[in-house]
């Protein structure tokens, strides 16, 4: 039975000029993942990547440990939502990176404060109000539709004995979990908050139907390598 492995990217560079690149811990997480995947019965593995740098770098490191070339099919359907846009529309300070970095640096728990603002921005996006809809380059319903369309298209393309290694982001994985478990929109925020970098979520494919069999697997990571952003 074909299997889709949804892989969240390694730790990105939170607070840096280019968030989209992996941090050094992110590279190491991705290499550890690749070594762990050697013990899985992957059959004929088909690597799939979103187009974001953190997706590509995670794939490069993991596939290298698997002894596979850094080659993959690119599918924009597995790209993350534009978190920068969502934040900027709901939190004006986010438009000024220098001011935001300085302000966060003065907070007792910068990550917790940032997460609270980020989740507020996500909820506003999900409400899909008429007054906001035109401000977003991609609405919440459109995001869900494209992620799920790519997931089902991939599932239908897999043959018996094949697996897909999908290098993607927490938001995309959360949407898929939400859909397969028939959960409400708040589930996106809950799952997005708890998915661990380089965690694996597995889906079995059977006659065009997708069945979620595991979520957020991360036993390959030592406890001091576990990160959430």
Residue 104: the pLDDT is 82
Q: In terms of residue numbers, what domain contains 107?
A: 82-137
For residue 161, the domain's CATH number is 3.40.50.1240
Q: Are residues 76 and 9 in the same domain?
A: yes
Taking the CA atoms of residue 91, residue 92, residue 94 and residue 95 in that order, the dihedral angle to the nearest 10 degrees is: 150
176, with CB counted inside 10 A (0-12, 13-18, 19+), is: buried
Q: Are residues 216 and 152 in the same domain?
A: yes
Q: Are residues 112 and 172 in the same domain?
A: no
Q: Are residues 89 and 181 in the same domain?
A: no
Q: Are residues 151 and 75 in the same domain?
A: yes
Q: Specify the pTM.
A: 0.92
Residue 93: the pLDDT is 82
Residue 100: the pLDDT is 80
Stretches where the chain sits below pLDDT 70 are 14-18
Residue 18: the pLDDT is 63
Strands in 18-153 per DSSP E: 44-49, 73-74
Q: Are residues 201 and 144 in the same domain?
A: yes
Residue 106: the pLDDT is 87
Q: Are residues 122 and 148 in the same domain?
A: no
Q: Are residues 75 and 165 in the same domain?
A: yes
Q: Which residues contact 68 (CB under 8 A, 6 or more apart)?
A: 45, 47
Residue 14: the pLDDT is 67
Q: Are residues 12 and 75 in the same domain?
A: yes
Residue 31: the pLDDT is 98
Nearest to 195, CA basis, from 175, 210, 166, 180: 175
Residue 95: the pLDDT is 80
Domain count of the chain?
A: 2
């Amino acid at each position: 039975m074909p299997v889709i492995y949804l892989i969240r990217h390694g730790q990105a560079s939170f607070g840096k000029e280019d968030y989209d690149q992996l941090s050094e811990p992110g590279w190491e997480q991705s290499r550890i993942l690749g070594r762990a995947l050697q013990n899985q019965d992957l059959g004929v593995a088909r690597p799939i990547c979103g187009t974001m740098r953190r997706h590509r770098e995670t794939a490069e490191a993991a596939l290298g440990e698997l002894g596979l070339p850094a080659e993959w099919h690119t599918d924009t359907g597995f790209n993350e939502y534009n978190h920068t846009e969502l934040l900027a529309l709901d939190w004006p300070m986010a438009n000024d990176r220098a001011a935001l970095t300085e302000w966060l640096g003065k907070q007792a728990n910068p990550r917790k404060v940032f997460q609270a603002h980020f989740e507020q921005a996500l909820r506003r996006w999900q409400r899909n109000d008429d007054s906001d809809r035109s401000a977003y380059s991609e609405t919440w319903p459109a995001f869900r539709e494209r992620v799920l369309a790519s997931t089902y298209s991939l599932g239908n393309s897999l043959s018996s004995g094949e697996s897909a290694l999908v290098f993607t982001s927490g938001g995309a994985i959360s949407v898929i979990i939400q859909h397969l478990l028939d959960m409400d929109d708040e589930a996106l925020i809950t799952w997005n908050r708890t998915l661990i970098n380089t965690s694996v979520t597995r889906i079995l494919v059977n006659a065009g139907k997708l069945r979620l069999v595991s979520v957020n697997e991360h036993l390959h990571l030592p406890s001091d390598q576990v990160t959430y952003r």
